[in-house]
Structure 1
């Protein structure tokens, strides 16, 4: 096709209106400039210039290419600046918000490892609901947010989002629950069971309520908490059921304090990064987003189960 150098020569010819003037600006010979333009026109199969006594003028195709060339130059400069900014992050502050599960089990490790790489940066983090994070992003109080699940429609329309990975959601019980001896359960069997859940109005609660109702299960609410750690502790010590992200219960499953029951329906939620797309991310935010993306994929590989496919195939004993 063509390379960036040929585009730069083309742009100089277009701006100068003359091969000879462009050659002077570029410190090239006129034959070299002419050769670049011949090769570019041949590669595209179009005529880019009309030659005349007073110089050259762009054809319609040439004007189109010049418009795109200017965009390419700007994007290349932005890319170079972004790379240099990340490589030379000398100072600055990043304000992050995350939903309770992400804030408790993922974000501390991410921030610790990020600051080990960039010790001169200050990262502050706070915990909020999905809607709370969205509101603070729009108000420019946060630079970056991390959530599980979906944004509300109004928030999705004004925020940008990137899925980092899909997180299995596990039905877990403690040793005191009658299901402790089982390996799997149908969602319909959860009807009437005592559940410990997130508070009403949270995206986690809305998601779980919809899933259970769709499969004919109306659990009895034994307790409601605003964070997954409290749900986990309650389930471990009682005869209740909880549904928690796999990363939140990995240690307890390995220690035998909790048991995850396979289900007949795969339960997963997307882990997303969200930000206000009306302005470009700062170099620090871009660096942390790339870092979090890598961390999320690494953490996903260490989850208790390889995939959710086995949940869909599972049957009760």
Structure 2
């Protein structure tokens, strides 16, 4: 019916009490102001001003419109300010989803560093499976997601992905396990061994089941959990094997509470950031992704590449993110081991 600019002109005429006064305020010609008001009155089908020798005054209809015009113009100014604040990272909220391991062991550090730099921004985080994260990104319920492994083909066609790094997956045993004293184990030797597994249907479980089956190892499932922390604790106190990402067991490998077995099969999964493809990342999402990427590569940089018992490498960047490994320093006597991992997996 009418645009915001005409409302601005109308409000200035009402405040100045004349077309000439409004023209001066708006740096316009008086005929241009008059034309805008004629068009506004024609669009509404009412007379907004009484014309007199000393200027103009509002009609009853004009007073009604002026009340709304002030509120509308105030909201427009507020909206412009909010948009600029978000663009300048002065205000805003980010909704992030992450798979269980990322949520438990990586996301807290990323959020901490992000909040130190941008204390005025709010990050809302939730833990979900890869399919759930994909669904919520497509439905615009999440702004950014972090997963391990790959997306389904259907989801991959609708989401953008950036690989942050390759994360080694360690085959772990506790001090009570018979394999604790072994330095190297072939994957096929794990046939019939008791395993602490992720819940059936999870991407981590599907990936591990396929790897074990491919190499002739059929595990005996001792317990199933929906989070990596429970798996880790169970392996530490029991006599079953677990497979977890390197970042989840850094402290335990360094203290000797767990041991990562040397395996003849490379095991890694890609840590990826994902977002809805049809819309560009918001300034807040871009900033958070940059912090996550920096945290990942700070872990890599802190480790001396030439140290005995440490294997660290950087591979080609994909989608502007270097793929590096979360590798673990080996304790004296080989109580934990880092491995060269280059396999392709699903999430």
**What is the DSSP-based 3-state SS (H/G/I as helix, E as strand, rest coil) of the residue aligned with 2:209?**
helix
Distance 1:120 1:176 in 2: 48
**What is the DSSP-based 3-state SS (H/G/I as helix, E as strand, rest coil) of the residue aligned with 1:170?**
strand
- Structure 1 residue 309, shift from structure 2 partner: 2.6
In the alignment, which residue of structure 1 is the partner of 2:198? Answer: 198
- Structure 1 residue 117, shift from structure 2 partner: 0.3
In the alignment, which residue of structure 2 is the partner of 1:3? Answer: none
Q: CA offsets, 1:90-135, max 9 Å, x none?
A: 0000000000000000000000010000000000100000001001
In the alignment, which residue of structure 1 is the partner of 2:256? Answer: 256
Q: Say if 2:340 is the partner of 1:309.
A: yes
Q: 1:268–1:300: structure 2 CA closer, same or farther, 3 Å change rule?
A: farther
Matched-pair contact (CA < 8 Å) for 1:169–1:246? yes
**What is the DSSP-based 3-state SS (H/G/I as helix, E as strand, rest coil) of the residue aligned with 2:224?**
strand
Which entry has the higher C-alpha Rg, 1 or 2?
2
Q: CA offsets, 1:124-172, max 9 Å, x none?
A: 1000000010011011010000000111111111110000000000000
Matched-pair contact (CA < 8 Å) for 1:85–1:283? no
In the alignment, which residue of structure 2 is the partner of 1:104? Answer: 104
Matched-pair contact (CA < 8 Å) for 1:268–1:308? no
Bigger helix fraction: 1
- Structure 1 residue 184, shift from structure 2 partner: 1.7
- Structure 1 residue 286, shift from structure 2 partner: 0.6
In the alignment, which residue of structure 2 is the partner of 1:21? Answer: none
Matched-pair contact (CA < 8 Å) for 1:164–1:296? yes
**What is the DSSP-based 3-state SS (H/G/I as helix, E as strand, rest coil) of the residue aligned with 1:231?**
helix
Aligned length: 229
Normalised by the size of structure 2, how large is the TM-score?
Answer: 0.63
**What is the DSSP-based 3-state SS (H/G/I as helix, E as strand, rest coil) of the residue aligned with 1:309?**
coil
Equivalent runs, 1:143-182 vs 2, <5 Å: 143-182=143-182
Distance 2:267 2:225 in 1: 21
Aligned-CA RMSD value: 2.0
Distance 1:127 1:100 in 2: 6
Matched-pair contact (CA < 8 Å) for 2:92–2:122? yes
Q: CA offsets, 1:275-315, max 9 Å, x none?
A: 00111111000111111111112224553069643899xxx
Q: CA offsets, 1:163-186, max 9 Å, x none?
A: 000000000000110001112211
Distance 2:213 2:177 in 1: 22
In the alignment, which residue of structure 2 is the partner of 1:126? Answer: 126
In the alignment, which residue of structure 1 is the partner of 2:228? Answer: 228
Moved more, 295-304 or 240-249: 295-304
**What is the DSSP-based 3-state SS (H/G/I as helix, E as strand, rest coil) of the residue aligned with 2:157?**
helix
Report runs of 4+ in structure 1 exceeding 6 Å deviation. 84-87
Q: Say if 2:140 is the partner of 1:140.
A: yes
Q: 1:179–1:296: structure 2 CA closer, same or farther, 3 Å change rule?
A: same
**Structure 2 residues not aligned, in runs of 5+:** 1-83, 304-326, 330-336
Matched-pair contact (CA < 8 Å) for 2:168–2:341? no
- Structure 1 residue 85, shift from structure 2 partner: 7.5
**Structure 1 residues not aligned, in runs of 5+:** 1-83, 313-317
Distance 2:342 2:287 in 1: 35
Matched-pair contact (CA < 8 Å) for 1:158–1:277? yes
Equivalent runs, 1:278-289 vs 2, <5 Å: 278-289=278-289
Distance 1:124 1:219 in 2: 38
Distance 1:279 1:195 in 2: 42
Equivalent runs, 1:258-297 vs 2, <5 Å: 258-297=258-297
Normalised by the size of structure 1, how large is the TM-score?
Answer: 0.69
